[in-house]
Amino acid sequence: MNRKILFSFIVFLTLLLTVACVSADDNMTGSIGLDEDSTDIISVDDSSGDMVLGNASNEDVDDESNKSATNISAEDIETFTDLKDEFTVNLTSNGTALANKSVDVILNGVTYNAVTDENGLAVISFKLKAGTYDVQFFFYGDDNYTQSNGTATIVVKPEIITYLNVVDKNINYRQGLKSIFQLKLTDVNNKPISGKYVKIQINGKTYTVKTSSGGYATLYLSLKKGTYTIKYWFSKSELYLASSGEFKIYVKSKLSKGNGYWVNKWSMKKVNLKKLHKKGTKHIFLQHTAFAKYGEKAVLKWIKKAHKYGMKVHIWMAVFYKDGKYIHASNKKGVYNYKHMESKISLAKHYASLKGVDGIHFDYVRFGGNAYKYKNSVAAVNYFVKKACVDVRKVNSNIILSAAVMPEPSSMKYYYAQDVPTMSKYLDAVIPMIYKGNYHASSKWIKKITKKFIKQSKGAKIWAGLQTYKSDWNLKKLSYKSLMKDAKNAKKGGAAGVVLFRFGLSALLNFKKL
């Protein structure tokens, strides 16, 4: 009986162990509670026996450690309502700009896409109403670089700041001249504001001027001698805030009629001042080389004598010309000839400092007909005229400054680099050399040319320069009658004076009959 029981127990135990072994094998190779549709499987690492969960439909995960880290950043900015502005993000990797990378910027619920340039910068344009806006920006990474993102803030102010400034503080103001006064209205980004009204108050009167497309408000002033404070303002308008300012000007004494002669050094002592006085002569343009020929003391004594007869003496000096050759104000690369300019300005300042000298007359302040070949030629001549006028007036605030110019109003800048509208802002008188003989023209041509210069001047008086002889190829004097006819045509054209070139080759004109 006991044997039967023992045998049965052994058989039962053997069967139990067999079933356990089969179950273990099944667990090794079969599913472990996964859904039938699942593709996840169990695998065994032979070396460790560890089980690893995988996915049969995905590629291996990228190794992020092999990518370069990136940084995307942007500055907080302030702008103004309805003003077109820009927002810029900067994408780098280890301090190096990343170019040609796509980035997204989310602003005010709108997603903008931009591509970085060679400096790693991506720019979007926007225009917003007043408020504070959060900006998000993203770089989503690629095969070589990790993703990065950032945030910034844009504050949009409700109104735009404006600036109202004097355009040129060195304009010449003199009684009898109609000189330009100009303001410029700009926004906070220095962009001109057009179509707005600016108030200008001077001498008890208020003028309203509308700004041009360039933001300029222009007024021409004709005032008596004295010091004036000009007040100006722009009142708040729509999105633009108000701006204002004031500027003080000094108006010099009135010029006498510009009737006179150019006198070279050889003719100085031949001039009969008393006789010229009786014929209404008011100005003498004396060649500066007279100082070297006769000495400073003798020339100043002669000037003093001219004053006794009511005549003003201007020192006539060549600027860009010496010994029969032109000296260029700029070279072909556009570089100004500063050294030469400064030497001439220093000389003019010296003459202006001499007691009795009434004016400085700039001749040959031009190129010799080939200005178009030289870069910045016009700007260089303008630079000289402005600087010379400003610097000389620091030495003698009442000095009369004038310049001789060519008589070709439509081609002055191209050939000679003479910009009369600009030059006339700083000079007291512009003297076009309307030499009819050299241009094979009639006396009526003088009237026509004079009118054109009157229109071009932005302040300076126009004194017509007339040729007193047939031409540079025929030095025979014009008859008194012919010369008077030319002078009258200049006056009919609007000239405020007539200057004759030159004493010694001229009939003595009775200016009182003009």
Q: What is the percentage of the chain residues whose pLDDT exceeds 70?
A: 88
CB contact burial 101-133 (16+ within 10 A = b; e otherwise): bebbbebeeeebebebeeebbbebebebeeeeb
- Residue 9 confidence (pLDDT): 54
Convert the pLDDT of each residue in 381-421 to its tens digit.
999 999 999 999 999 999 999 999 999 999 999 999 999 99
Convert the pLDDT of each residue in 208-222 to its tens digit.
999 999 999 999 999
pLDDT at 84 > cutoff 90:
no
Which whole-number Å values give the CA distances from 389 to 27, 171, 253, 338, 352, in the listed order?
106, 10, 17, 16, 11
Residue listed under structure tokens 């273990």: 24
Q: What is the pTM of this model?
A: 0.72
Convert the pLDDT of each residue in 238-292 to its tens digit.
789 999 999 999 999 999 999 999 999 999 999 999 999 999 999 999 999 999 9
Mean pLDDT of 428-450: 98
pLDDT at 72 > cutoff 50:
yes
Which whole-number Å values give the CA distances from 244 to 54, 162, 188, 209, in the listed order?
75, 9, 14, 14
Strand-pair category, 283-287 with 312-318: parallel
Least confident of 38-42, 54-58, 244-248, 303-307: 38-42
Comparison of pLDDT for 47 and 239, the residue scoring more: 239
Convert the pLDDT of each residue in 341-397 to its tens digit.
999 999 999 999 999 999 999 999 999 999 999 999 999 999 999 999 999 999 999
Comparison of pLDDT for 419 and 7, the residue scoring more: 419
pLDDT at 308 > cutoff 70:
yes
pLDDT at 159 > cutoff 50:
yes
Mean pLDDT of 168-172: 97
Query: For the chain, how far is it from start to end, CA to CA, in angstroms?
Result: 168
pLDDT at 15 > cutoff 70:
no
Convert the pLDDT of each residue in 461-478 to its tens digit.
999 999 999 999 999 999
Tokens of 321: 């010309």
Convert the pLDDT of each residue in 173-185 to its tens digit.
999 999 999 999 9
Q: Where are the beta strands (DSSP E) in 277-422?
A: 283-287, 312-318, 321-322, 325-326, 359-363, 400-405
- Residue 157 confidence (pLDDT): 86
Strand-pair category, 260-263 with 283-287: parallel
Q: Which domains does the chain possess?
A: 70-157 (2.60.40.10), 162-251 (2.60.40.10), 260-513 (3.20.20.80)
Q: Read off the amino acid at residue 251.
A: V
pLDDT band at residue 65 using 50, 70 and 90 as cut-offs: confident
pLDDT at 53 > cutoff 80:
no
Tokens of 418: 């003479």
